Amino acid sequence: KAGVTQTPRYLIKTRGQQVTLSCSPISGHRSVSWYQQTPGQGLQFLFEYFSETQRNKGNFPGRFSGRQFSNSRSEMNVSTLELGDSALYLCASGGTVETQYFGPGTRLLVL
């Protein structure tokens, strides 16, 4: 079974731009969660989707949004990028409510 895939793996943007990251979960998984990891804040929960519905949301500004498609693939979007948005963005898919399988991440650098 293929694992969780994330694209792109690396991305460089400038302040004010917007970015869209993609996550394809393990086949059959219906839950996708997104996380941000920075050296200063560590891992932080962004949001969780299940069957195209946002089930939970972390404490991030409205510039961070996401969606899930009918094939369970998910995208997250960050608008009006700030320097502090530079981070590793991780996606995880769940076979059950609590089991999490992580993707390799997208490393975003905002200049």
Partner 1 sequence: KNEVEQSPQNLTAQEGEFITINCSYSVGISALHWLQQHPGGGIVSLFMLSSGKKKHGRLIATINIQEKHSSLHITASHPRDSAVYICAVRSNTGNQFYFGTGTSLTVIP
**Interface positions with partner 1 (CB under 8 A):** 33, 35, 37, 42-45, 48, 55-56, 58, 88, 90, 92, 98-102, 104-105, 107
Q: Please state the closest distance from residue 2 (CB atom) to partner 1, in A.
A: 15
Q: How many Å separate Cα 54 from the centre of its chain?
A: 13
> Which amino acid belongs to residue 105?
G
Nearest Cα residue to 60 out of 85, 33, 83: 85
Report helix, strand or coil for 37. Answer: strand
Q: Which is nearer to partner 1, 14 or 43 (CB)?
A: 43
Q: Which is nearer to partner 1, 6 or 72 (CB)?
A: 6
